Amino acid sequence: MKAKTKAELRSEYRQLRKGLSSEKVQEMSRDINHRFLEWLSDHPELNHFHLFFPMDRFNEVNTFYIKESLEEMDKVLYTSQTNKEETALETLKLPKQAEFFLDEWGIPVPQESIKVSPTKVQLVFVPLLAYDPLGNRVGFGKGYYDSFLSKLDSGVIKIGLSFFPPEEKIEPEAHDVPLDYCITPEKVFSFSKQMASN
């Protein structure tokens, strides 16, 4: 069977998300945080985490639960803002208990932050719409994250977050950077081993 195009998957998963109630989004986001913390218990060496923050109108995973959990563990947190002139992501170091405002796209942005190099980042949470069993992902089509990830050290862990199970197959493009893991409310999928673990 022919694999769906990225455009078809974007449309399909936008509709699937739209069908989720806000209560369901929060419930599943908390479950994803729980799964992540279970996974993190086996990785005490990780201290520097790069987070994306959710656009509510797209029913994205609420990563503020993960932020709060990591802050309680005294981890160092980063996020990004878009440099429109360079069409690139700039890395921001987050202060604890940061206050946020919504930018023109509805993305939560910290009111106070320090622009830094991403060299200390050990793990990046990657937004997505769909993914497959090899870690290929479909994003929003802007290419910001693939460009950002391609400039990081190859050892940086890339974790997608999704409310849904994987697609059977996504055809990658030359510039795509695959995920190492994807966390859903039910499972942590590991792509380096091409297997799922509970």
**Residues contributing to the annotated binding site:** 6-10, 60, 137-145
Which residue positions form the known binding site for ATP? 6-10, 137-145
d(CA 18, CA 68): 26
d(CA 58, CA 191): 26
DSSP β-ladder status, 48-50 and 123-126: parallel
In the block, which residue shows the tokens 């994803």? 32
* Residue 106 zone, left/alpha/beta (φ > 0; ψ -120 to 50; rest): left
Among positive and negative, which fits the CA dihedral 44, 190, 129, 178? positive
**Which two tokens mark 116?**
């830094």
Which residue positions form the known binding site for substrate? 60
Question: By C-alpha distance, which of 73, 194, 79, 67 is closest to 126?
Answer: 79
d(CA 160, CA 188): 10
d(CA 49, CA 156): 10
Q: Are 195 and 187 in contact (CB under 8 A)?
A: no
In the block, which residue shows the tokens 């919504």? 102
